Amino acid sequence: MVDFRLQNAWFAPIGDWEDGSYRMNVAFLILMHKNPEQTIRLIERLDGPASSFIVHVDRRASREVYQSIEAWASKRNRVVLAKRSSCRWGGFGIVAASVECVRAALRIDPAFDYAMLLSGQDYPIKPLHAIFEFLSARRGKQFIETFPLDRDNRWSAATGAYQAMNRIAWYHLAFRGRRLHVPIRRRLPVGLKPHGGSQWWCLTRDCLADLDDFLNRNPRVLRYFKNVFIPDECFFQTLVSNSRFGGDVIADDLHYADWTRPNPWPPRILDDSDFDFILSSGKLFARKFDVARDPKILDKLDREVSFVKQ
């Protein structure tokens, strides 16, 4: 593992992009659990003079997966492995992993303007320079889907634990990999108003530094979310929306995903038949991809989408 005590020299501000048109540094925070070659490919497509990477490997991943990423990262001075958590679907581990990535980036990369949370199964569908230009043109905006859970939203009509307010207001326990939903009502601490939305986001350094400070001053907020159902779809959404940055939110996670045609589970594993939908989405990234099922779609994206500044 790369030592977090390394000097910060390699994270120093890079300066303007090659043509001098803008200045922007991005830390990519990547959560992965399998297919290390796919995560490496993702990093290589996003690697540039103003990119840095914090990678979290699920503690439940095989030793071979972890060692493969560790060996590769040890030879790159802008790729750091984060402290590991066990990430089970619907549980707090995904939030813990995301928070650890944020804190690692804040500790070791003083230069980044934005941090973008990605999965190891994401892939860029715009050239790298276009991603940086997009963020530079909207500097100071927070990209995260977020909506109040106590108002009409896309989860309001769901039943049981999946209902919008039940996700966050009921008490939820994890037992032997299963989620137990106890209909005991709770209330968020420190007057927070509950929000939800997509797990993925792109937030400014100032916003993340404020959230980290808030969590350090209010540790009971983290404790509360340990018993929330699918907390990765509520945690950052609630914190950002209740912060001074709530007015700067653009409710977009910048990802294309297909939840309407599962194969067999949503979101859909994208393949060559989805190519036109992906490119016409206008998004910066798409998910999910799985090289074990269809490596050709990534090859096609590499051919059709230029990852080199023209």
Q: How far apart are alpha carbons 68 and 71 in whole angstroms?
A: 5
Percent share of the chain, pLDDT over 70: 91
CA dihedral 65, 68, 70, 76 (to 10 degrees): -140
| pLDDT tens digits, 175-222 | 766 778 888 889 999 999 999 999 999 999 999 999 999 999 999 999
Burial of 120 (0-12, 13-18, 19+ CB in 10 A): buried
- Tokens encoding 230: 């699918």
CATH for 12-139+290-310, among 3.10.620, 2.60.40, 3.40.50, 1.20.1630?
Answer: 3.40.50
| pLDDT tens digits, 38-77 | 999 999 999 999 999 999 999 999 999 999 999 999 999 8
- Contact between 229 and 196 (Cβ < 8 Å): no
Residue 52 has what pLDDT? 96
Burial of 146 (0-12, 13-18, 19+ CB in 10 A): buried
* Residues forming beta bridges with residue 195, ordered by sequence position: 148
- Contact between 113 and 25 (Cβ < 8 Å): yes
